[in-house]
Amino acid sequence: MNLARFRELLGDIPIVDDPVALKIKSRDFYWFSPILREELGALESDLIVVPRDESDVLTIARAAVATKTPVTPRGGGTGNYGQAIPLAGGALVDFSRIEGLKFVAPGRVRALAGTRIASLDRQLRDAHGVELRLHPSTARTATLGGYVAGGSGGIGSIQYGMLRDRGNVAGLRVVTLSDEPTIVDLEGDEVQQAMHAYGTNGLIISVDMATTQAVPWREMIFAFPDTLAATRFGLALAASDGLVKKLATIAHPDLAKNFKPIREFCPTGKWLVLAIVAEYSHLGVQALATEHGAEIMLDRQADESPGEPPLYEYSWGHTTLHALRADKSVTYLQSMLPAANTLDIVAKLESATGTEILHHYECVRFDGRVTVQGIPVFRYTDRDQLDRLVKAHEALGIRIANAHTWLLQNGGMKKIDDAQFAFRRQHDPYGLCNPGKMAGWHGGPALKPLGNEAAADLETTGWV
């Protein structure tokens, strides 16, 4: 790595090397995990480059290849697994200025990688009458490229499945770090080469996302006496194909205590289902709630104008975030329950874990079937406890994706096969893209020492 020469080759592309900025930008939400806090907390990039357009990204790639400088792409920094933390130093590529809408076509939109997702969704609704099928709970901060490179599902997964499902991401435009960097356009199943790859298979510069007709939405909160009643309703809502919805979050009463802006709608001791439903499905949802004995605590038109946070900011990763703000000793797991006998498994899991875990489920379509993804929260003690809780889930047939590793394969949400390695050998032969994140890749820049010289070696089944 020759940083001086790298800087020269960048020309007038903006560079940031202020120590405070380096520290801030070199981190994401890795601190959700006590293991990642311990092992990655001291790592930083050597400088930040801020490309302004596609041409700048190509220039950065050429400079990186010529000087063997590692590059780590960064969007909004909302990932939880250290995806944006540079393990080998080098240049952090800040995509915040690569933003904007490129085109809208029937069923899809192309936007640049640094585009803020909530901003894009709002523009699509206002100007084109469509909206994104899927977005993360961090939509107001997250970028489109970061979501596709590091995310797995989110708001809309109850209706459209996971991000990886065919059709949800229609295309990717990627800058390679081959001997002669170029741009490749990935379509159809080809997008899997760079999706959820943490930027290890090239620098994503634009994304084609699936869209659907925009509709008015309602935010609703339902209260139930226990886990099973809440989960039964959430699953029934998810399975009601005639009712259009994009969220059903099931939350433990003690997690709801952390939802301060909506605390008045969260009765003490009650399990909650937080839902976002289409306005025209409202009467059907009310009838379903009555059928399930739900108390309707909130029923209002969704409004994402500045001010009160949208209801989805109490779901998915935000549920853990609110818990961490209240108690920094907590952490989480990521589970996927079987679609068969889901309620029975929920009951058995609650019995097996007792009061140690505060359960939180997201209703989703996974591999075409309705089930729940668990994002349970608990007070962390040590790795033995983490391993024990993983085993308690897996003994019931619940699959766990490891949220406490920076290694792509170990996370369990992405299958790295020969095709993935072949793609990287072709387009990043020197392993300069986010080095250290793809297990099994040999060679590349030397990595910096970890916090305790240990790997996050928690064994889990994964989801693939």
How does pLDDT run across 329-355, given as a tens digit for each residue?
999 999 999 999 999 999 999 999 999
Give the start-to-end residue ranges of the domains of the chain: 3-95, 97-213+415-427, 217-401
- Rounded CA-CA distance 119/117 in Å is 5
pLDDT of residue 457: 62
Would you give the DSSP letter of residue 191?
A: G
Q: Pairing relation of β-strands 183-187 and 169-175?
A: antiparallel
3-state secondary structure of 145: helix
pLDDT at res. 464 = 64
Q: Which residue ranges of the chain lie beneath pLDDT 50? A: 453
The rounded distance, in Å, linking the Cα atoms of 59 and 141 is 27
Fold for 3-95, please state it: 3.30.43
Q: E strands within 188-345? A: 203-213, 217-224, 245-251, 271-278, 295-301, 330-332, 334-336
What pLDDT does residue 412 have?
A: 64
When the candidates are 3.80.30.10, 3.30.465.10, 1.10.10.10, 3.30.70.1400, the CATH number that belongs to 97-213+415-427 is: 3.30.465.10
CA dist 274 and 277 (Å) reads 10
DSSP string, 152-212: ---BTHHHH--TTSTTSEEEEEEE--SSS--EEEEEGGGGGGTTTSTTTT-EEEEEEEEEE
Contacts of 58 by beta carbon, 8 Å cutoff, 6+ apart: 175, 181, 182, 183
Q: What is the 3-state secondary structure (H, E, C) of 400-434?
A: EECCCCCCHHHHCCCCCCHHHHHHHHHHCCCCCEC
Tokens of 68: 């063997």
Q: What is the pLDDT of residue 316?
A: 96
Closest by CA to 211, choosing from 101, 100, 130, 116, is 130
Write out pLDDT tens, residues 226-261.
999 999 999 999 999 999 999 999 999 999 999 999
Distances (CA, A) of 52 to 13, 416, 433: 8, 32, 19
- The pLDDT of residue 418 is 79
CATH of region 217-401, choose from 3.40.50.2300, 3.40.50.1820, 3.40.462.40, 3.40.50.200: 3.40.462.40
Q: Which residues contact 344 (CB under 8 A, 6 or more apart)?
A: none
